[in-house]
Amino acid sequence: MERLPRLGRVLLATALGASLTVSAACGSTDDKKASGSGKSGGKTLFVFAAASLTGTFTTLGKTFEASHPGVTVKFNFGGSSTLAQQITQGSPADVFAAASPATMKTVTDAKAAAGEPKVFVRNRLEIAVPPSNPGKVKTLKDLTNPKLKVVECAPEVPCGAAANKALAAAKLKVKPVSQEQDVKAALSKVQLNEADAALVYRTDVKAAAGKVTGIDFPEAAQAINDYPIAALAKAPQPALAGEFVQLILSDQGKSVLTQAGFESP
């Protein structure tokens, strides 16, 4: 093999050295990006929240991410009773926001909450009907008509417990065609024209504006649900959990929630 002149060998070695330096620098930058940068970079916050909080908490989750670069907020929305059971059985979660004190009590009784839960909003029921209102529903008593297909939440779910309380206050009995595991599932039955009416939260009716019509009824005042929130004792991200709870309790959090139809406690 023909030997390179001395000057050529020097230039080649210099070029190779520069290439390795650049590669090392790029690798270092990529490693920093992969591991996240900043105080809270590359972390995930797991929030378990009642299905009726889907829209508002998704919005507030984005607000939290914007103020915490590198942090991702992941939500598990569903029936509060199911979420409480998952938490007490060891599912990793940082924050729990329930639709009733009763479902939060499942968590506090298991000593799974870090500190005392705080009520951040309240919610009340409405009757949701299709925009055309084929069942001609006007009052809560109309739901006792056996010809109507009425949907409720299951009794162990906060919206179902509230419905039973409102019906008891009115001394009425309704035979639902189905009892759903969360309020979104109950509302979807009306949206899909699979039911003539459903007892759901006012906030869910408002979120589905144009797809359903809401009917107020006076007995709803007897069954208002308080919503408590708490950071959890075994939170993988305890500091971030506390900060998320503070966002929900802040004026900014209250503004987003009240605009969606929730009431201040």
Domain contains 152: yes
What's the domain count of the chain? Answer: 2
Give residue 20's pLDDT: 36
Domain of 90, in residue numbers = 43-122+227-259
Q: Which among 101, 65, 110, 57 has a CA at the least distance from the CA of 234?
A: 110
Domain contains 72: yes
In this prediction, residues 130-157 reach a mean pLDDT of 97
Is the pLDDT at 1 greater than 80, yes or no? no
How far lies 19's CA from each of 4, 117, 212, in Å? Answer: 20, 57, 64
24 or 221, which is more confident? 221
Instruction: Note the helical H segments in 89-142.
Output: 101-109
Domain contains 157: yes
Q: Are 129 and 118 members of one domain?
A: no
Q: Are 101 and 60 members of one domain?
A: yes
**Per-residue pLDDT tens for 169-184?**
999 999 999 999 999 9
Q: Are 66 and 112 members of one domain?
A: yes
In whole angstroms, what is the distance from residue 249 CA to residue 238 CA?
17
Q: Are 240 and 118 members of one domain?
A: yes
Could you tell me the pLDDT band of residue 41, with boundaries at 50, 70 and 90? low
Give residue 160's pLDDT: 97
Is the pLDDT at 12 greater than 80, yes or no? no
Is the pLDDT at 67 greater than 80, yes or no? yes
Q: Are 216 and 90 members of one domain?
A: no
**Per-residue pLDDT tens for 75-98?**
999 999 999 999 999 999 999 999
Is the pLDDT at 36 greater than 50, yes or no? no
In this prediction, residues 243-260 reach a mean pLDDT of 98
Q: What is the CATH number of the domain that holds 244?
A: 3.40.190.10
Domain contains 22: no
Domain contains 172: yes
Domain contains 8: no
